[in-house]
Chains A and B, each alone.
Chain A
């Protein structure tokens, strides 16, 4: 029982990270932009959030929790939106190839974060922002003490709940609002949207930048909550970024599916540690690597199934990955 609880409270924060990444990318892809720079953007968001927290709590005598949250979130989101802006400018205005640009952005984001990280690390293996971490992991009082349910349902930092609310809001936005309808039209058939008087350029720029901002929160959540407020030069965020991209496919571009899909990915990702102990046996270390592959395998299965069923609603936006140029004849 206890290891089942431990499994869940490991899986849900893990899922939250990729849920942010996937929700942001869903918004981006709905506009027809395939941004493979999600890992890089999560690095940017994570590092900017951490750096601002680090400087804030090291330079202020009595750091305030609210200011800390505001500062880290704003800097994290702005940094990742800048990443989205680079992508937008290259692919929308200059009509560069989206795959190449996205992959370059991943490398770029990692590089920038790790480069500036060197100055904060200052020679040590890692550095920490303990105050920001304490703010981010603050649990819901009273409710989180209610035994197993309290631990598994109410025992997380606030961003885990914001993610669920955001997924629901995104669902409403995409399916029930005029702007959402316009956005989907742009991703499906920009020429039609253009003929209907929708500003295609704006409807690609804004969702791509806002989507990048949302993805960046995932990186921020990883550093300040999941990773206990510790910044170190590792490749962990990158792996999470790719998983977020896989999750977008898994959800068939639906934010509501991202909620359970993300948690499922979390459960599957930690399968290697908890399932054997739950069943009472140990596995060799090479097996764990194989087991960590399961989320990707599940994504492939989903891809195969949706492709076989050929249901139009489950397909990616029809114009995904293509630049739009009105005067193309």
Chain B
């Protein structure tokens, strides 16, 4: 097989984070290659380097056997490489034609009619349907994706990269897309799909390459692969972490989630009929590839996300686990917080939710405490004491509690966020990605904090990315896949492969685990 693109010993770092480490990978001519890996395994970063978005720190890229420098998307197009990003690069108020014409070679005459004619030919060839006068803002997600594909084909690419193309599509739209991809393969083009959905990998691709934690693990021909082989390559062998895990005792039901469904603003069902209980005194881990409903689940419980009618989240406040339950759905987030349900969500940009970057620790403590104080004056003393306390107990490294938190390192920002939520003495504590980007020591500090809360009888819900941590820290693990609860397993008895499989392969209706 002849290589269309070869990556040789490519490394890319962002500050201290190594996104890709010494990756060597070949993309053959006329094949459909799946690039498989968990969150943060460096799939998108790797292909962004081929598409000209990033430039590798080390290593080289060969196109058709010749070393090349790809410094911008334009360079990539000139080499016949086109990438369709997860976030579409389209101008909303432009028509389809205008979007296709954008950035075309300026030596050609500017003629929208000619552009449209050529685009129509592409549509006929690959059986697309497109209204070229339609403005992008009135298009559906699938239409936008089609437009992106036409845009790339218009520029005459031979290698097409699709980043999680099916994440936003309905099953029918996915089938259509796959037909298009097969058409392109028949036309002699190479197609690379970034994905974490095993069944799609097996359905569409000729070959699978696997990345794990930024490193290249290997490639297999799809015909020789099955789900368990791929899962094992994807998640790797179990790593012993020695995280403390006290036995849960005196567990009482705190949360009862029933028939919870959420539909996103785009009309996609991001959570489907979720049911589970969370108990005080245990840590319930939530595993899943990111974007499978974790964020929406926590937000729905915290009252920040509207849910589909019929869903219910009951909260048991009394200590015997009986008594009257409070229905959380429909309540205002502040009331939910006051009742004792707290959430600390660490988004990718860390400061986006929960903290105000330009305020100091004291100010950020006050965000959730501003109603106290006399008359219209706020009380600064309590938040100040709390800030001091968190700074000492969690060893937050900051020049002063009044230094804007945006100047602190990521780990310290997270300590402030998690520390504040814990300090409010919650009954239910939800954390998402609490150790994202943290070094080992700080991560263990956070695990200790969560364990302390567990011992106190708090119901801890821990959304995590690292399976090893989830397996070592949680008592039970709930696995989300495609917005559904794909299984709830006992963390002491399960293994990485089982959880990995649950994360990537939706069980058929009726199948049971446990």
Contact = CB atoms under 8 A, between A and B. Distances in A.
Interface in B46-92: 53, 72-74, 77, 85, 89-92
Interface in A271-329: 312-313, 315, 318, 329
A197 B93 contact: no
A195 B82 CA distance: 11
Which of A182, A193, A197, A313 counts the most chain B CB atoms within 10 A?
Answer: A197
B73 A313 contact: no
Given A192-B89, A312-B92, A312-B93, A197 B110 contact: no
A313 B91 CA distance: 12
Interface string B467-507: 00000000000000000000000000000000000000000
Interface stretch (B100-108, B210-218, B308-316, B375-383): B100-108
Given A198-B102, A198-B103, A312 B137 contact: yes
A317 to B, nearest CB: 9
Contacts of B98: 181
A103 B382 CA distance: 40
User: DSSP majority for the A interface?
Assistant: helix
B93 A181 contact: no
B102 A188 contact: no
Interface residues of B, number: 23
B94 A197 contact: no
A153 interface: no
A188 B94 CA distance: 9
Contacts of A315: 93
B74 A184 contact: no
Contacts of B74: 197
A223 B74 CA distance: 47
A177 interface: yes
Contacts, number: 62
Interface in A158-206: 177-178, 181-182, 184-185, 188-189, 191-198
Contacts of A177: 110
B135 interface: yes
B472 to A, nearest CB: 30
Given A197-B73, A197-B74, A182 B93 contact: no
A193 B98 CA distance: 12
A192 B102 contact: yes
Nearest to B110: A178
Given A189-B92, A329-B14, A197 B135 contact: no
Contact of B91 (A178, A188, A329): A188
B101 A181 contact: yes
A324 B322 CA distance: 55
A185 B98 CA distance: 10
Contacts of A318: 92-93
A192 B101 contact: no
A184 B99 CA distance: 11
Which of A185, A195, A313 counts the most chain B CB atoms within 10 A?
Answer: A195
Contacts of A192: 89-91, 102
A191 B77 CA distance: 16
A250 B175 CA distance: 47
Given A178-B110, A312-B135, A193 B102 contact: yes
A178 B89 CA distance: 18
B109 to A, nearest CB: 9
A315 B135 CA distance: 14
A177 B85 CA distance: 27
For the side of the interface on A, what is the size category?
20 to 34
A184 B91 contact: yes
A55 B175 CA distance: 75
B78 to A, nearest CB: 9
Contact of B102 (A185, A191, A312, A313): A185
B94 A185 contact: yes
A178 B106 contact: yes
A188 B92 contact: yes
Contacts of B135: 312
Contacts of B85: 195
A172 to B, nearest CB: 12
B93 A196 contact: no
Contact of A182 (B14, B77, B103, B349): B103
B40 to A, nearest CB: 13
B73 A188 contact: no
Contacts of A191: 89
Nearest to B93: A312
B73 A185 contact: no
Nearest to A197: B74
A189 B103 contact: no
A184 B93 CA distance: 10
Contacts of B92: 188-189, 312, 318
A197 B77 CA distance: 9
Contacts of B91: 184-185, 188-189, 192-193
A193 B90 CA distance: 9
A178 B100 CA distance: 12
Contacts of B103: 182, 185, 193, 195-198
B81 to A, nearest CB: 13
Contacts of A188: 91-94
Contacts of B94: 181, 184-185, 188
Interface in A62-90: none
A327 to B, nearest CB: 9
A194 B74 CA distance: 9
Which of A178, A193, A312, A313 counts the most chain B CB atoms within 10 A?
Answer: A178
Interface in B412-459: none
Which of A177, A185, A312, A329 counts the most chain B CB atoms within 10 A?
Answer: A185
A160 B98 CA distance: 34
A236 to B, nearest CB: 37
A195 to B, nearest CB: 5
A189 B92 CA distance: 8
Nearest to A180: B110
Nearest to A187: B91
B163 to A, nearest CB: 13
A196 B137 contact: no
A177 B53 CA distance: 27
Q: Nearest 8 pairs between A and B by C-beta?
A: A196-B103, A197-B74, A178-B110, A192-B89, A195-B89, A197-B103, A188-B91, A196-B102
29 contacts: A177-B110, A178-B104, A178-B106, A181-B94, A181-B101, A181-B102, A182-B102, A182-B103, A188-B93, A189-B89, A189-B90, A189-B91, A189-B92, A192-B90, A193-B91, A195-B73, A195-B89, A196-B73, A196-B89, A196-B103, A197-B72, A197-B73, A197-B74, A198-B103, A312-B135, A312-B137, A313-B93, A318-B93, A329-B14
Given A189-B90, A195-B85, A329-B349, 16 more contacts: A177-B110, A181-B110, A184-B91, A188-B94, A189-B92, A193-B91, A193-B102, A193-B103, A195-B73, A195-B89, A195-B103, A196-B73, A196-B89, A197-B103, A315-B93, A318-B92
